Structure 1
Amino acid sequence: MDYPRSIRFGDFVLNRTRGCLQDSSGTERFLRPKSYRVLEVLAERRGQLVSKDDLVQATWPDVFVSDDSLAQCVSDIRRVLGPEGMGLLRTVPRRGYMLVGPGSEAEEPVEPGWKRWMAWTSGLTAALIVAMATLWLAQPRDSVVELSAADGAVVQANELITARDWRRRGDNEEARGLLEAVVADNPRHAGAWASLGLTYWLEVQHLAWGGGRREMARALEMVERAVALGGGARSHRLLAEMRLLSPFPEMRSPVDALANARAAVTIDPEDPDNLAVLAQALALTGRSHEAVLTIQQALRLDPTPQDWHHQVAGLSYLLAGEPARAAEELGPLYGAGTFANARWWPGWLFAASLAHAGRLDEAARVVTAALGHRPEQTVTGVAQSFDGLADESGLAIVLEGLRLAGMPG
C-alpha cells in the first residue's frame, strides 16, 4: 500500500490512523500537530537527509515561517522521544535533519492499548474529542496564519544582522525597527525577542557604536524574555554568549552562561555553534578537559568551522595543558590586525601558547607587537582585561605564558 498506516522506527510507532506517536508499551506521547507533521515527514524518509526547506514546505504549505518554527518542532520531537530515542533524530548542520534507526511499515496500526481505549465510557471519549478539537483549533491554524507575516519580518531582520559587521550599523537599526514592530503586535514571539536582543548586544560588542550598560541590560532582558517564552537553542546560546562576554562585570555570570549553553546543546546537540559556546563556557569555568572534548565534537560536525570556533579550541587546549595544539589552532588566525580590534584576546592566548610550547622567540615577537597596540603594557594589565576568565588556575596559565614570553610584570 502506498500510504502505510503505521511506521515503526527504533522502539516507536507513528500511528497515522490515530495521528499519534506510541512508545514500545503502546503509550501515546503527545505532539503538537505541526511537530507531528514534521516527524511524519522524517519517518516517511527515514535514513535520508531531509532539508529544512522540504520540512517547512511539507508542514507549512503556502505559509512563510522562519527556521525558529521548525527548530521548535524538532525540540518538541526530541522531548517526547526522551533518553531512549536520543540518537534517532540527527541534525545535519546547515542542511537539515535525519531520522535514523531500523524501521518498517505496516498496513494495520500496532495498538497495544486499543482494548483499553475501546473500554472507555462514551462520555469520556466525547469529552476527549472535544478537548482535542479545541487544542487543534487553538494551535496550528490561527497561530501560523497570524505569525506568518511576523515570521517573515524576523527572517528579513536576521538577514540584516547575521554578519555582525561593525560597518553595517544602518542594517542593525533597520532590523531593530522590523523586530520592534513584530513584538508590538505579538509580544509572545520568542524569535523576535531574541533577535531584538541581538541588535542591542551588537551595539555593545562594536565599540564604534557606543553601546553601554543600558544597551547591555536591554539585550539581556530581551533574550531572557525569549527564553522564558520557550525560545529554542538559539535563544539559550545567545544568552550564554552575553553572560560570558559582557564587558560589564556585574552583568556577567559564567555559571548561568554554562547552564544556558548546556540547554542549547540539549535542544540541538548537533549544532556546532551550540557546542562551541558550551566549550567556551566550560573552559572559562575551569572545565577545560570537558571543553576540549566538546569543541572537538563541534569541529568534527562542521568541515569549514568559523574562526571563533578555532579561538575556543585554542583556549580549551591551552587551559587543558596542550599548548602546542593551542598554537596550531590560534596561529592561522594571528595577523597584523589582531591587537588592533575588539578580538584581541586570542592574540594573548597565542603568545602564551607559544611560550608554554617552548617557542619563546615567536612568543616574544607576538608580545612586542601587542605592546604597540594594546593599552595593557604589563601582565597585571592583561590580568585585569581577562576578568571574564572565572577560573583562577586557567588565568594563571595564560599570565605565566606571557611572563615566559618576556612581558613585564
Structure 2
Amino acid sequence: MGVDDRAVLRFDDFALDTASGTLRDAHGAEIMLRPKAFALLLFLLERPCVLHPREALLDALWPNLAVTDDSLTQCVGDLRRALGDRATAVLRTVPRRGYMLTTTVLRETAPASAFAPLSSMSAAVPPDGDLLVFEALEPASDDAEAQRFARVLGAELLRTFSRSETILVHTRATHPLPPESFRLSGAVRRGGEEPELSLLLEEADNGRVVWADQLTLPAPQRREEALAVLFARLETLVMGEGLRRARQKPAQALRSYDYVRLGAALYGRGGEAEKHEAEQHFLRAIAMDPGIAIAHAFVAMILMNRVHVAEGHDRAAERHRALDFARQAVELKPRSSFSVAAFAYALARSKLWDTAIENARMAVRLSTLSAIGPRTMAAVALLISGEAAEALLALQPAIALDPFSAAGPRSALGTVLLLTGRREEAAAELRRAAAHLPDFPPCLRSTVVAAVELGRMDEAHEALARLRRIDPDWLGSLREFLSFMRDRQVVERFLNAFAACGEPVMDCVSPSIAADRG
C-alpha cells in the first residue's frame, strides 16, 4: 500500500487522511498525534495483521539512530492514548515479541475536497511555509466533458503542488484567511492534446495580483516536466513575496519562517560571512519553533560545510553537531525531500556511505523534477559515496528544466560531469557557475582538475590562483574534501591535477590517503 498517492485509510472507527496527515474519529473530529506516533500508525496501516518485532519498528521509525526500547514504548503509549477506548481492539501487544494492527484497513483515493480542508484550522500562519489556497479550475463550458477535464487537470496540478517543501496547499478555506497567504485560481480550455491554462496568483487578504499568465500545456506524456517547471516558478514567486515582506518587518514582528526566508537568501550567496549570518537566522527560527524542520536541515548543511572552525572546536565536533541537526530534521518531517537530502549529505561527509546512498535515493524519490535544492544535496551525497553516475541522473534533469539555475547546483553538476568522464561538458558548467559565483572553492577545485585533464593549463593555473587568494587554508580544505571521498580514483585524479600545477599536495594529504595512493 503506497502512501505517495493521496488516500484515506479507514480502519475500525477511524480514518487517516494521508493528504493532510490527519487522523479522525467516527464523528470526523481530528485526533492530534505526535510525529512519531503518526509514523508508527502509518507503518502499521501499510502492513496490517502482521506481527512486527520491536527491532523492526525501531529500525523503521528511527533509521540510523541509536535509541532505546523506551522510545518505542512511549510512541506506542501515545498512539494508544490517541485511539482511546478502541486501542485494545485495534492494536495488540505480543509480550516480548512486538505489536500488531488487528483490524482490516480499507484504502480510498482522496477526493479533491479531502485535500487538507482549512475548516479545522485557526487563522494562524503556517509555521513552516506559506499557505496557498488552490481553487478548482474553471472549465471552458458547462458540458460534462469540459468539467471532467478541468477536474482531472486540477488534480494533476494538486499532485505536483502538494510535494512542495515551502508551500502548504489547501483546496478550500474558511474566512478570514490567515494573513500573508495566497490564492491560486485559473481556467482551462481544451484545444486538442494541448490544453490552454490561465492562472492567477493573488494575495488572499487583499486581492493584490502577484502573477498572472496563460500557457499551453504539452501532451500528457510530457506534462510532468511542464507542471514541474510551472510549480517551480510559482514557488519562486511565493517565496520571493514572502522574502520581500520579511525584509520590511520590524524585528519584533518576524515569525519563525520569516527567519528561514532571510537565512535561505543569505545561504544562497555562498560566502562564509553570509552563511554565518544565515546560521543565526536559522537558529532564531528554531528557538521560536523547535519543530521547524527546514531550519534544522539548513543548520546541518552550514555546519558540515564550514570552512573555518571557531577556536576551541574541531571539525569532528562540527560534523557530529551537523549530523544531529540533520537527524532532527528527518525526525520532524520524515517525508521532506530537503530534510532527507540534508541527512544523506551529512552521512556521506561522515563516511557513512551506504546509509547515505539509501537516504539520497529516498530524497530523489520524494522530490519533484524541479526540486533543485534537495536534488543537489542528494547528488553530492551520491557523488561522495562513489555513485557518480547515479548522481548525474538525480541532478541533470532538474537543471535542464531551469536554464537559470543557481551557481551552486551548476557547480555540483560540473563536478558530477567531470567524474563521469564528460570533461568538456563539465568545464562548460563550471565556467557558468564561476561567472555567477567566482569565489566558490568547490567550483574552483573542480575547475583545476577539468582544465588539467583537458590540457588547458592556463585555465588551471588561473583557477588555482583564485583558490589561493580566496582561501588561505585551501590545502587544508582540499585535504578534508579528499578525506571523505569514497572512490580512491577520484582522490587520485585530484592529486594528479594539482601536482601538475606544481603544488606539492601529497605533503598536505592525510596518512590514510597517502597510504592508499602509495
TM-score (norm: length of structure 2): 0.48
Q: Partner amino acid for 1:237?
A: A
Q: Partner amino acid for 2:108?
A: R
Structure 2 distance, partners of 1:159, 1:234, is 15
Cα drift, residue 300 of structure 1: 1.4
Alignment of 1:271-310 (within 5 A): 271-310=371-410
Q: Structure 1 residue aligned with 2:457, among 353, 357, 360?
A: 360
Structure 2 distance, partners of 1:66, 1:208, is 39
1:217 and 2:323 correspond: no
Distance 1:209 1:156, change over 3 A: farther
From the two aligned structures, give the one with the greater helix fraction: 1
Alignment of 1:232-311 (within 5 A): 232-245=336-349, 251-270=350-369, 271-311=371-411
- Matched residue SS, 1:286: coil
Contact residue 157 and residue 179 of structure 1 kept, 8 A = no
1:180 and 2:287 correspond: yes
2:185 is matched with none
Distance 1:64 1:12, change over 3 A: closer
Structure 2 distance, partners of 1:357, 1:168, is 33
Give the % identical residues. Answer: 19
Contact residue 355 and residue 404 of structure 1 kept, 8 A = yes
Cα drift, residue 328 of structure 1: 0.9
Structure 1 distance, partners of 2:372, 2:434, is 23
Structure 1 distance, partners of 2:464, 2:172, is 55
Distance 1:178 1:371, change over 3 A: closer
Alignment of 1:5-404 (within 5 A): 28-29=107-108, 35=115, 45-47=151-153, 49=157, 56=169, 58-61=171-174, 62-63=177-178, 91-92=228-229, 93-95=231-233, 153-163=255-265, 164=267, 166-167=273-274, 169=276, 172-183=279-290, 189=291, 192-199=292-299, 201-202=301-302, 205-207=305-307, 210=310, 214=317, 216-231=319-334, 232-245=336-349, 251-270=350-369, 271-334=371-434, 343-371=440-468, 373-375=471-473, 382-383=478-479, 385-404=481-500
From the two aligned structures, give the one with the greater strand fraction: 2
Cα drift, residue 172 of structure 1: 4.2
Q: Partner amino acid for 2:373?
A: D
Structure 2 distance, partners of 1:282, 1:194, is 21
Distance 1:386 1:229, change over 3 A: same
Cα drift, residue 352 of structure 1: 0.9
Structure 2 distance, partners of 1:254, 1:224, is 16
Tell me how large the CA RMSD over aligned residues is. 4.5
Which stretches in structure 1 are left out of the alignment for 5+ residues? 1-10, 22-26, 68-86, 98-151, 184-188, 246-250
Cα drift, residue 234 of structure 1: 1.8
Distance 1:240 1:360, change over 3 A: same
Distance 1:266 1:407, change over 3 A: same
**Higher RCO structure (Cα 8 Å, ≥6 apart):** 1
Structure 1 distance, partners of 2:409, 2:262, is 23
Cα drift, residue 330 of structure 1: 1.0
Q: How big is each residue's C-alpha offset from its partner over 1:41-99, in whole Å with a ceiling of 9 and x where there is no partner?
A: 588543365678997353454247999xxxxxxxxxxxxxxxxxxx97954442469xx
Contact residue 153 and residue 179 of structure 1 kept, 8 A = no
Contact residue 356 and residue 381 of structure 2 kept, 8 A = yes
- Matched residue SS, 1:94: helix
Distance 1:258 1:154, change over 3 A: farther
Structure 2 distance, partners of 1:394, 1:401, is 11
Cα drift, residue 168 of structure 1: 7.2
Contact residue 194 and residue 222 of structure 1 kept, 8 A = no
Distance 1:262 1:167, change over 3 A: same
Cα drift, residue 299 of structure 1: 1.1
Structure 1 distance, partners of 2:178, 2:287, is 22
Q: Partner amino acid for 2:171?
A: A
Contact residue 66 and residue 154 of structure 1 kept, 8 A = no
Which stretches in structure 2 are left out of the alignment for 5+ residues? 9-14, 19-105, 118-132, 138-148, 183-222, 236-253, 507-518
Structure 2 distance, partners of 1:255, 1:226, is 20
